[in-house]
Structure 1
Amino acid sequence: MESKTEEASMINVSSLTCIDLDNSNLHQLAVLLKQACLDSGFFYVINHGMSEELKEDAFEQSKKFFALPLEEKMKVLRNEKHRGYAPIHESRLDPKNQVQGDYKEGFTIGMEGPKDCPDLDKSFYSSNTWPNPDVLPGWRETMEKYHQEALRVCKSIAKVIALALDLDVDYFDGPEMLGNPIANMILFHYEGILSDPSKGIYACGAHSDYGMMTLLATDDVMGLQICKDKDAKPQKWEYVPSIKKAFIVNIGDLLERWSNGLFKSILHRVLGNGQNRYSIPLFVLPSHKCLIDCLPTCQSKINLPKYPAIKCSSYIFQRYKEVHEHQKQT
């Protein structure tokens, strides 16, 4: 468990770089983004092109779903392909420090392949589970539109990431990369429980995302914290406030691996302050067929590849297995 010293440091607020996607000087943006990824792996994105009306509609529809009786939500319980509803306490992302699961419930929506797609039976492109349209009219349409727009924003960010890694601007656009991505969107509702790190109670336990990048929309309820140095004793946690009309973006473990350890995927968590809180992250990875090998621009005679090449699908299943076994052992 964290010490009293660590607990007292939680009032710190982080200052993150802001990336303006309306800036036509992509190389200037790449310099800013690179520094952000070297420093913390977190940054804001503004002027991204998604309307506030769509974002507000997605949050309103999300709140309507979580306000349903548990019996109704359980009708779309998350299946073996990880699509659908996950009840409170189902996930425990930091078993060593948590006495019970996260104080949050979620609903996962992923990419759907066409009916004649050979990958349709794979976990990454299977059909979604949807609430009854008679209960929540327009819900599916709103979420599908939001998912599509959020993915578009991620693809724009990927162009800047490519330049920041000294790659061609379209490097990540190919069909085995973000041309056929794995992109899971999860609606989260954090219950109005007050977190207490000294007692192992968290809205969401400390973890790093395992994907390429995460695009996060959140309400104005404070809760997200980042730790830039996981090995520090005590760890220093800083709040990341929401900014109106901005997304919070962070890179994941896969991009850290892809960049040969150059970019940082860091620990983050959510502390509850007694208020209900809602967020919508989109977790993006390349195609399941993509080979994740240390980028040549991130290698040199000094910086040899730190990680062996691995297929994206193998990497994901490996991470799922690690998390599952970790939770069983604690």
Structure 2
Amino acid sequence: MERIKEYDTEVTLISFIILTLSTRWEISKSTPPCPASQCHDVRNLTPLFRAMNFGDFVDGKAQQPLPPSLAPHESELDEFQQYCHKLCLKILTLFAIGLEIDPAAGGSSWFASRHHGGPTGCILRLLHYPSIPADSDYQPDVDIRAGAHSDYGSITLLFQRPSQPGLEILPPSSSPNSPPQWTPVPISPHPTTHDPSPPILVNIGDLLSHWTNNLLKSTVHRVIFPTASSPSDIADRYSIAYFCHPVGSTVLESVPSERVRVIAEKEGKKGNEGKEGKKITADEHLMGRLRATYLGMYGNEEKKEEVEK
């Protein structure tokens, strides 16, 4: 598979994240989840992170004001986001091939064709999980960098700096009698002469899981603080995530795949339908996940109204 253009990892992460986020936000123990992720346990755990989101660029321009430290890098951000999107389309093409989608219905391009040609919910996110001050009231059994969640969209690309521990996934249980266990994701290795590019972690999101009747399962994951003898030993963590979504008006109809159809029959499903028995669009799916997240956090209609505006 073609590599994403050879960006200097340190320049990308340091310029795009540290310069932007270090002077822009204070750590907040009541920070709500950002709009592309779903938190599962925000009532019990305290997320500690800073984030900045970028939606689709139009004619090379960001559709929101950029902080002074980032404005000179607007063209680089746009180019990086374009390369991320192209890589996602290639991955989605491979999924379509693996699912043996009917060639008459679109074949290998079935997913990819629904991810361009109009406004999408794609988001490029810069993330900074700050270190812990020595005099903080950090509680290792309460505080967490990012609580358990699954991503909303089709797939997510995650770029991490080398040797950053803390990311964990919750795979399905291997036995009906044993609960799922959190599993650390191997840390990214340092680049070598033979392999100068760090690996890119790919997550399946809720929308692709819904689209395929849960044949492709979304990944529940979290970011914890690494084990340390004292808070001052916990280093900052930096990462970049690209959340890929279809065009908003895309109807999430059943994937024309025999593999998906068999799964639907086993689970007694008639197709990808919403609660009212009708197929939903990608935008409606996204709004539903946002609504569920915010109502789950706050348990009132006020936040629901804010999300729907």
Q: TM class, shorter-chain normalised?
A: 0.7 to 0.9
Quote the offset at 1:60 in angstroms. Answer: 1.6
Aligned to 2:14: 60
- Structure 2 distance, partners of 1:251, 1:202, is 23
Quote the offset at 1:328 in angstroms. Answer: 0.3
1:170 matched to 2:109: yes
Quote the offset at 1:191 in angstroms. Answer: 1.3
**Contact 1:86–1:106 under 8 Å retained in 2:** no
Aligned to 1:184: 123
Cα 1:154–1:319 change in 2 (3 A) is same
Query: Matched residues, percent identical?
Result: 22
Aligned to 2:44: 98
The alignment yields a C-alpha RMSD, in angstroms, of 2.9
1:260 matched to 2:213: yes
- Structure 2 distance, partners of 1:142, 1:263, is 33
Aligned to 2:202: 249
Unaligned runs of 5+ in 2: 34-38, 102-106, 192-197, 227-233, 274-278, 301-309
- Structure 1 distance, partners of 2:284, 2:27, is 24
Aligned to 1:229: 172
Q: Secondary structure at the residue paired with 1:249?
A: strand
Quote the offset at 1:299 in angstroms. Answer: 0.6
- Structure 1 distance, partners of 2:87, 2:30, is 31
1:327 matched to 2:297: yes
**Contact 2:252–2:272 under 8 Å retained in 1:** no
TM-score if structure 1 supplies the norm length?
0.69
**Contact 2:169–2:183 under 8 Å retained in 1:** yes
Cα 1:170–1:329 change in 2 (3 A) is same
Quote the offset at 1:114 in angstroms. Answer: 5.9
- Structure 2 distance, partners of 1:164, 1:95, is 34
2:64 to 128, 135, 139: 128
**Deviations 1:240-262 (Å, cap 9, x if unpaired)?**
12245210001101101111111
Q: Secondary structure at the residue paired with 1:222?
A: coil
- Structure 1 distance, partners of 2:132, 2:225, is 6
Once the two structures are superposed, the pairs formed by residues 180-219 of structure 1 within 5 Å of their partners are 180=118, 181-193=120-132, 199-219=141-161
Give the letter aligned to residue 215 of structure 2.
Answer: L
Give the letter aligned to residue 211 of structure 2.
Answer: W
**Deviations 1:104-149 (Å, cap 9, x if unpaired)?**
000001103469xxxxxxxxx98223112xx456232332222122
- Structure 2 distance, partners of 1:233, 1:86, is 37
Aligned to 2:236: 276
Give the letter aligned to residue 293 of structure 1.
Answer: E
Quote the offset at 1:276 in angstroms. Answer: 0.3
1:302 to 247, 261, 265: 265
**Contact 1:226–1:267 under 8 Å retained in 2:** yes
**Contact 2:28–2:48 under 8 Å retained in 1:** no
Give the letter aligned to residue 259 of structure 1.
Answer: T
Cα 1:313–1:126 change in 2 (3 A) is farther
- Structure 1 distance, partners of 2:28, 2:85, is 26
Q: Secondary structure at the residue paired with 1:292?
A: coil
Quote the offset at 1:234 in angstroms. Answer: 4.2
Q: Secondary structure at the residue paired with 2:286?
A: helix
Aligned to 2:90: 156
Give the letter aligned to residue 145 of structure 1.
Answer: E
- Structure 1 distance, partners of 2:73, 2:28, is 19
**Contact 1:192–1:272 under 8 Å retained in 2:** no
Quote the offset at 1:329 in angstroms. Answer: 3.0
Aligned to 2:287: 317
**Deviations 1:144-188 (Å, cap 9, x if unpaired)?**
2221221121111111111112122222232x4334333101100
**Contact 2:156–2:242 under 8 Å retained in 1:** yes
Aligned to 1:143: 77
Quote the offset at 1:96 in angstroms. Answer: 5.3
**Deviations 1:283-302 (Å, cap 9, x if unpaired)?**
01100010012212111483
Residues paired across the two proteins, number:
256
Cα 1:88–1:140 change in 2 (3 A) is farther
- Structure 1 distance, partners of 2:124, 2:19, is 17
Cα 1:296–1:171 change in 2 (3 A) is closer
- Structure 2 distance, partners of 1:259, 1:190, is 33
- Structure 2 distance, partners of 1:259, 1:64, is 40
TM-score if structure 2 supplies the norm length?
0.74
Q: Secondary structure at the residue paired with 1:169?
A: helix
